[in-house]
Chain A
Amino acid sequence: MVRFLGLGLLLLGLLLFPLAVELPYPQHVMILIFLYAMMGLAWNIIGGYAGQVSLGDATYFGIGAYTTAILLRELNLSPWVGMALGALNAVVVSLVLGYPCFRVRGHYFAIATIALNEIVATIFTNWDFVGGAVGIYVPILPESFVNLQFHRSKAPYYYIALGMLILVILLNLWLSRSRLGYYFRAIRADQDAARALGIDITRYKLIAYALTAAITSLGGSFYAMYVLYIDPTSVFAFSISLLVVLVAVLGGVGTVAGPILGSVILISLSEGTRVLLGGTGRALDVAIYGLLVMAISVLQPQGLVAWFRALRQPKAREVKVGRAPS
């Protein structure tokens, strides 16, 4: 009950935030937090639940962004449709990459995801139709929800990002109690034992990866409409792939709260140091980043969520019992 009340108050606070704080910059930081929390939760499906480390999620971020931007520019197609088709593209690419990788064991998958990230970035940089290295300006449309463009205030973007994050949280919560989620965790724990229980591990890894790709692509589509300009270095950046992993690992892999917490901390930290240290701070905020990640991985390898759970040990037990389906 207390938990529900707390969550209700948090949600209310988040809904009122843009009304209370009208400055664009704090709203922008919140939007980034929502975006990375969402993509951290997406990575959580393949990397956290299913235990297959993907290091190239920017591939799908970029696919979502480019699909939406190009369909809007060439065919004047609604960004929402572009978003759906971007997710579909991402799923197709994830299956093509995943199928050969998941049939063999070892670290091939992690390596292949990095390679794919680089290959796709190189293709887009050299492909004139999509603007090459110059990138694409998204056509400016009249302000409306249907057009997914707002020029006077960031608040509508804030609410859309929050809505998308809530949907992804609900998906993760559902997953954690569904057959899919249990199968993913079985695969992470022991692939042979999973197979002996009738689980087609290749199939379920593909499902996990496709879900990750689709959600990440939605994030990319949103980004394109939010920033209204994309190029290969901004949407296919390896740093995006890395940040998504960091957000999940720092917060706590395989949990729903972890990536959200990770995103809050990492984004506020990187934005905060940038503001405080100005133009000279670029290297310093990266250094603090690195120190923090190192500190947490040494002190609390299970992530911050495990640390919070340990703080309230007696309660953690109750929560666990309550999680078993009844």
Chain B
Amino acid sequence: MEGPLLELKKVSKRFGGLWANREVSFKVFSGEVLGLIGPNGAGKTTLFNVITGFLRPDSGQILFAGQDITGWPPDKVCRAGIARTFQLVRVFRGLSVFENVLIGALLRNPKPKAAAELTRQLIELTGLRPWAEELVDGLPIAVKKRVELARALATGPKLLLLDEVMAGLNPKERQEAVELVRRLKSELKVTVLMVEHVMEVLMPLSDRVVVLDFGVKIAEGRPEEVVKDPEVIKAYLGERYAAGFGSLGGL
């Protein structure tokens, strides 16, 4: 078996006296969807920022495809093959949906013509065609999130980091987003590491889950095992419920 695509070795990030991440270690293997869950303030987004180079870890090591990428700037991390979306959407305002995705596609296709071809394919795949020529500014949040996703995919990543892509979506939009992530996995063979707050969305999508609480990894494993873990239940619902409830997330 080949080595992991991404490996975190005892990664810690501190803000003053607060440990946002404390000696977090886990591996992401090629082709899988790994879910990263945890209550508010568990350090999920911080960990994303550390992996993608927006924050420098205080200690620990991040290996991507066997290469040490700890402390690399975000653009270099992206060129190495890790793309991300943001928790609060950050589309390029003043540009059209097409142009937003095109900017991602230009990374590995410097010629606008070749990039436009890839852009068209991704716009098709993500169902953005009806909005392709519209400015992103006024589009609904669900569409903006898809623009961010298409844009990240356009950089040709081996690993895609999705930060709460389901947040702010209604149940129907959520279902469409789940389908989309499934398609990315099966059609594009992208490895996905996703942070999600909505557990019932994440569980059926993930091959494995890692649970963070107060910056520490408290559980790791298959979704159906993790939701039964007393530590996890305690983290989500508090001590009182840990004994009484069999599992979380209605599974």
Contacts and interface: CB of A to CB of B under 8 A. Distances in A.
Interface in B124-173: 133, 151-152, 154-155
Nearest to A182: B103
B96 A196 contact: no
B183 to A, nearest CB: 21
A236 interface: no
B54 interface: yes
A189 B92 CA distance: 5
A196 B74 contact: yes
A326 B83 CA distance: 26
Nearest to A201: B75
Q: How large is the interface on B (under 10, 10 to 19, 20 to 34, 35 or more residues)?
A: 35 or more
A76 B167 CA distance: 69
B103 A197 contact: yes
B67 to A, nearest CB: 16
A185 B92 contact: yes
Given A185-B94, A192-B54, A198-B79, A324 B86 contact: no
Nearest to A200: B75
A149 B78 CA distance: 52
B113 A193 contact: no
A324 B99 contact: yes
Interface stretch (B104-112, B211-219, B229-237): B104-112
Contact of A196 (B78, B110, B116, B133): B78
Contacts, number: 94
A321 B133 contact: yes
A281 B26 CA distance: 74
Given A197-B83, A198-B155, A320 B96 contact: yes
Nearest to A204: B75
Interface string A158-195: 00000000000000000001110011011011101111
Interface in A194-219: 194-201
Interface in A36-89: none
Contact of B112 (A179, A197, A320): A179
Interface in B38-96: 52, 54, 73-76, 78-79, 83-84, 86, 90-96
Contacts of A106: none
Contact of A197 (B76, B78, B113): B78
Contacts of A198: 75, 78-79, 107, 155
Nearest to B74: A195
Contact of A182 (B93, B99, B133): B99
A325 interface: yes
Contacts of B115: 179, 325
A243 B60 CA distance: 52
Given A183-B106, A321-B133, A197 B95 contact: no
A196 B86 contact: yes
A208 to B, nearest CB: 15
A254 B99 CA distance: 15
Contacts of A188: 94
B90 A193 contact: yes
Question: 3 tightest CB-CB pairs across the interface, nearest first?
Answer: A198-B78, A189-B92, A195-B74
23 contacts: A177-B112, A178-B112, A179-B106, A182-B112, A185-B92, A185-B94, A186-B92, A189-B92, A190-B90, A190-B91, A192-B86, A193-B91, A193-B92, A194-B92, A196-B52, A196-B74, A196-B83, A197-B103, A197-B154, A201-B75, A320-B133, A325-B115, A326-B113
Given A196-B74, A198-B79, 10 more contacts: A182-B103, A183-B106, A189-B93, A192-B90, A194-B103, A195-B75, A196-B83, A198-B75, A199-B107, A325-B112
Interface of A: 177-179, 182-183, 185-186, 188-190, 192-201, 254, 320-321, 324-326
Interface of B: 52, 54, 73-76, 78-79, 83-84, 86, 90-96, 98-99, 102-104, 106-107, 110-113, 115-116, 133, 151-152, 154-155
